[in-house]
Each structure stands twice: as C-alpha cells, then as structure tokens.
C-alpha cells in the first residue's frame, strides 16, 4: 500500500474548517518508493493539468492513482472535510508535471466540484515561495494566507472542500512541478465534459507552448482565474 488512510490521523496533519474546510498532510508516501514513483511519473512536454491516462505512467504511478481515487481515501478525506458521502461522487483524475507563470491564479474551483485532493511528488523545491500552494482569505490578495503556504514536496497531500470562498492559488512559477489531482464531481456528465476539454487542451498546449509561456510572464501576482 502506498497511501494508508490511517496516516491522516497523524498529529502533524492540519485540518481546518474556516474560512473553508481543508487539510494539509505531509509525508503521506513511503520514502522507500520515492525513486520508483519519480521514475514512473508521466512526462507531458507541456505545462498544465492533463487527464490521467494509464499508458502515460509506469506501474507504480498507476497503483498510486488507483489508491488516491479509491473509496477508502475518499471516505477518509470526506470525513475530515465534513463530506461523509464523498466516496459516492464520480472522480476526475488529472496530472501535471510542469507549470508556466500564468498558472496558479487565484480561484475557488468550479461549482461542479465537491472536493479536490492534490498529491505532490517533487523530490525537492527551491528556497522560494513561488509555486507553493496558498489557501486564502480573499479572492483579491495572494498575501491573505489562512495557513502556512504549502511546499509541493514528495508525499504532501492537500485536500479541500469547494465553496464560494475556497480561494487558493500560488505565486507565479515556471518549471517542473509534479502533482496528481483527484476531484470529486457532482455528476458523471461533469467528469466527461472536463475530460473532453482536457484532451483538447493538451493538444492546444502542445502546439502553443511558447505563446503560453510568453503570456504567463506578464501575469500579476493577484490575478484571478476567470
């Protein structure tokens, strides 16, 4: 087992319910599997999140995605976020291995999302706040942190309940940033719609990566995702 739901009971796990429900759980993956998971992580050649495809990943990553999207993990996360029936919602899995500076703008997530979990797999992170996830009090100010910013290091699991004030984002960063995202959505139709859009987005980003990078370089730190 790569992900043990009981590890969410550790004393270093932060669970908060204001201004919205979220949890931050470091060291959720076994250190012995680090090299194998990093080897099996997909390489996309474009920045942003893309729909998970098993054929893009090595065997250990396929196992990790299966566990992260399982009913056991959903139930454990849901109980801590105040959504005891979270395992009953359909799941969307997306993966990112890199970002441009335009990514990470302040947003709450779409209303079709019930909750989201992010599992980071970066072996190290530079001594910078850039690219570190922030949960925010305000949708207009990236400095209004509700908790310490979260470095996207190997094994760190973050989850939150979507709300009209579930503001989050990160300072502009460009480079490798490995993360698996699981979102529990309101309906199977929402999952299909987002997967379809993600497949199209992957094609566009492969063709327009240079333009994407150029536009992102001008991003304001307090920019909001529209």
CATH code: domain of residue 197: 2.60.120.620
How many CA atoms does the CB half-sphere of 103 hold within 13 Å?
Answer: 22
Q: Do you find a cis peptide bond into 19, omega within 30 degrees of 0?
A: yes
Hey, what's the torsion of the CAs at 114, 24, 107, 54, to 10 degrees? -60
**CA atoms of 4 and 60, how far apart (whole Å):** 15
Domains: count for the chain: 1
In a domain, 44, yes or no: yes
pLDDT, position 196: 82
In a domain, 109, yes or no: yes
In a domain, 173, yes or no: yes
The domain containing residue 118 runs over which residues?
A: 19-215
In a domain, 223, yes or no: no
In a domain, 14, yes or no: no
In a domain, 226, yes or no: no
* Stronger pLDDT, 72 or 219, i.e. the higher one: 72
* Stronger pLDDT, 224 or 219, i.e. the higher one: 219
Asked whether residue 154 carries a pLDDT value surpassing 80, the answer given is yes
State pTM to two decimals.
0.91
In a domain, 10, yes or no: no
In a domain, 154, yes or no: yes
The tens digit of pLDDT for each residue in 88-138 reads 999 999 999 999 898 899 999 999 999 999 999 999 999 999 999 999 999
């Amino acid at each position: 087992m790569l992900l043990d739901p009981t590890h969410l009971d550790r004393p270093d796990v932060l669970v908060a319910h204001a201004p919205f429900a979220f949890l931050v759980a470091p060291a959720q993956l076994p250190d012995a599997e680090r090299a194998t998971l990093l080897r099996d992580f997909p390489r996309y050649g474009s920045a942003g999140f893309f729909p998970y495809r098993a054929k893009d990943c090595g065997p250990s990553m396929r196992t990790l995605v299966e566990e992260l999207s399982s009913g056991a993990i959903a139930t454990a996360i849901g109980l801590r976020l105040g959504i005891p029936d979270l395992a009953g919602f359909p799941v969307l899995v997306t993966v990112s291995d890199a970002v441009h500076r335009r990514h990470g703008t302040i947003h709450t997530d779409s209303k079709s999302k019930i909750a989201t979990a992010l599992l980071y797999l970066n072996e190290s992170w530079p001594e910078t706040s850039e690219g570190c996830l922030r949960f925010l009090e305000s949708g207009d100010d990236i400095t209004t942190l509700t908790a310490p910013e979260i470095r996207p290091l190997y094994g760190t699991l973050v989850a939150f309940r979507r709300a009209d004030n579930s503001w989050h984002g990160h300072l502009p960063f460009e480079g490798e940033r490995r993360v698996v995202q699981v979102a529990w959505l309101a309906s199977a139709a929402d999952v299909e719609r987002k997967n379809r859009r993600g497949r199209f987005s992957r094609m566009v980003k492969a063709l327009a990566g240079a333009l994407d990078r150029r536009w992102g370089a001008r991003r304001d730190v307090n920019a909001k995702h529209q």
